[in-house]
Amino acid sequence: MRSDLTKKGIERMPNRALIYACGTTPEQMNKPFIGVCTGFTDLIPGHIGMRRLERKIEGGVYAGGGAPFIFSVPGICDGIAMGHIGMHYSLPSRELIADMIESITQAHQLDGLVLLTNCDKITPGMIMAACRLDIPTIVVTAGPMMSGHHKGKKLSLVRDTFEAVGLHQAGKLSEQEMQELELEACPGQGSCQGLYTANTMACLTEAMGLSLPGTGTGLAGTANKERIAYNAGKRIVSLVNENITTRKIVTKESIENAIRVDMALGGSTNTTLHIPAIAHAAEVDITLADFDRLSHETPQLTSLRPGGDLMMEDLEWAGGIPSLLKELSPKLNKNCLTVSGYTIAEICKNAYEPDRSVIHSLDNPVAQEGGIAILKGSLAPEGAVVKTGAVDKSMYSFTGTAIAFDSEDEAMKHLMDGKVKPGDVLIVRYEGPKGGPGMRESLALTSAIAGLGLGGGIAIITDGRFSGGTRNLSIGHVSPEAAEGGPIALIQTGDKIHIDLPHRKLDLLIDEKEMEKRRSSFKKPAPKFSRGWLSRYERLVASAAKGAVLLPPEC
């Protein structure tokens, strides 16, 4: 066992003394040491219920014949960090989480890991660590929040609070109604109720094979979720004994399965950051081109919020990810192994028949292609990302007039001043991985636009990113970003922009001579942070097209 490095041999007597000081018994000293890494915090609704799940995992590890050791990592709630300086720290926290888990696991030479996670950057950060370490690992996601209810109507965070800001601004929602919504939209523990980033990543983690069947959609606060946690704790010991490590699960084929599930769900665009980052950690070659290829081949089979009206609870009751995999099985790599010990083929065979009111058939899809598209063109030579599943088909081809802003805050003020009109293309730049830094999420802006009823006539283009809750024609992750001198930095208010989703095109309609003139006069902006963690992050972060991972300076 890996842990023998810390506990075997006469020279490890001091090490053993310290381990015994933690309450470990001589009997446990001979068992696999299992790290139970928890993201528990009182600051994130998706994580507040983890104390009970920690105990269940711990009990499962004991039952499986292992010795559990709990340690923790921090987490950020994107919704709470939204709209102020805090959002600069959200995406970078993914790297810190991966580094912390790597550090603890290597320092203590743990034999296996159970990673207890739920929300946006915590889940990919944990998986990145597991792929780097390549030891037996199971991921337990704490589950989606139940929908809120008010006056007979189902509520969710994004549509009924973020978009309510725009409704109030338009005079369609009173102060009293706003107060009622903010009290009822989020009834308790769990990740936000729609197919936003946290829930998308939970589903893809299961599809990738790193979670037990049923984990991705198992609802927060339920006995079912506690049983899943217990079984994960028990199963991890078997994985250690069988030496089934993370990279035996996370392969090119299993990642492609996850991307296909993403397309079938119409999931969050943030997966185009997180999946390449996970692949990078696993040393698997996955690029944005793979997303686009698989999107062309995979129909969208569900229509959850934000694009549709269904919630995660509906997907759970319709059979969850196993039933979705069953429907997708003709397109999947079915020999992929999972942490359950079953292959994808075996999981599909044992899954329930899908509820067709939620999970459509391949013959009768929601859309013929997947819910995410990768655009390229003179405005985005390295690519940009759009959630096609949340765009009205009337906006699939659109030409508009650029209104350029050098920050999200400038664009938000312009919107709230009532200056946005149909035909506008809001260019929000210097919000990329380096320029942000940290690629702030623009949910407040896109939600306000939806609430104001402007979504059908305008577009937003940014080198930053959007929440999984964003809908309408919102294009993000434009690469190269403005801070690197990409074409988005050269746009001037009044330029024409052409967007063509079916043909995957995003073009700035100016001639090459004018483009070269602007390029020659471009000056790289000064860093926004001169001290602290973000000043280091800005220097080392790669482009969004590469997953915004941190690279050594020479890269």
Burial 295-315 (b: 16+ CB within 10 A, else e): beebbbbbbbbbbbebbbbbb
* From 3, 147, 156, 467, active-site residue: 467
Q: Are the CB atoms for 548 and 91 separated by under 8 Å?
A: yes
Pairing of strands 373-377, 112-117: unpaired
Instruction: Give residue 42's pLDDT.
Output: 98
| Single pTM value for the model | 0.96
The enclosing H or E element of 34 equals strand 33-38
Instruction: Give residue 437's pLDDT.
Output: 97
Q: Which long-range contacts (CB under 8 A, 24 or more apart) does 489-493 make?
A: 489/429, 489/430, 489/522, 490/515, 490/518, 490/519, 490/522, 491/379, 491/402, 491/404, 491/427, 491/429, 492/402, 492/404, 492/518, 493/402, 493/403, 493/404
Q: What's the sign of the alpha-carbon dihedral 179, 180, 181, 183?
A: positive
Q: Are the CB atoms for 34 and 24 separated by under 8 Å?
A: no
Pairing of strands 148-150, 474-479: unpaired
CA dihedral defined by 84, 88, 90, 91, rounded to 10 degrees?
A: 150
- Distances in whole angstroms, Cα of residue 509 to Cα of each of 134, 148, 402, 424, 531: 47, 45, 10, 15, 39
Neighbours of 545 (CB within 10 A): 25
Instruction: Give residue 2's pLDDT.
Output: 97
Length of the chain: 555
Taken in order of first residue, the domains within the chain and their CATH numbers are 31-146+188-350 (3.40.50.2300), 150-184 (no CATH), 375-546 (3.50.30.80)
Phi-psi region of 494 (alpha: psi -120 to 50; beta: other; left: phi over 0): left
Residue 499 β-bridge partners: 398, 506
In the block, residue with structure tokens 């860093």: 527
Instruction: Give residue 56's pLDDT.
Output: 98
Structure tokens at 1: 């066992």
Instruction: Give residue 555's pLDDT.
Output: 53
Helix (H, G, I), strand (E, B) or coil at 460: strand
Q: Is 350 exposed, middle or buried (0-12, 13-18, 19+ CB in 10 A)?
A: exposed
Q: Alpha helix (H) ranges present in 110-222?
A: 122-133, 157, 163-169, 175-184, 197-208
Q: Are the CB atoms for 303 and 309 separated by under 8 Å?
A: yes
Q: Is 467 among the residues known to form the active site? A: yes
Neighbours of 149 (CB within 10 A): 12
> Among 551, 500, 499, 492, which Cα is nearest to 519's?
492
Instruction: Give residue 165's pLDDT.
Output: 83
Note down pLDDT in tens along the chain; length 555 residues: 999 999 999 999 999 999 999 999 999 999 999 999 999 999 999 999 999 999 999 999 999 999 999 999 999 999 999 888 999 999 999 999 999 999 999 999 999 999 999 999 999 999 999 999 999 999 999 999 999 999 999 999 988 888 888 888 889 899 999 999 999 999 999 999 999 999 999 999 999 999 999 999 999 999 999 999 999 999 999 999 999 999 999 999 999 999 999 999 999 999 999 999 999 999 999 999 999 999 999 999 999 998 899 999 999 999 999 999 999 999 999 999 999 999 999 999 999 999 999 999 999 999 999 999 999 999 999 999 999 988 999 999 999 999 999 999 999 999 999 999 999 999 999 999 999 999 998 888 888 888 888 888 999 999 999 877 778 899 999 999 999 999 999 999 999 999 999 999 999 999 999 999 999 999 999 999 999 999 999 999 999 999 999 998 875
Residue 343 β-bridge partners: 337
- Distances in whole angstroms, Cα of residue 373 to Cα of each of 93, 444, 483, 505: 26, 22, 24, 10
Residue 399 β-bridge partners: 498
Q: Are the CB atoms for 475 and 377 separated by under 8 Å?
A: no
Backbone phi, then psi, for 376, in 5-degree steps?
Answer: -140, 165
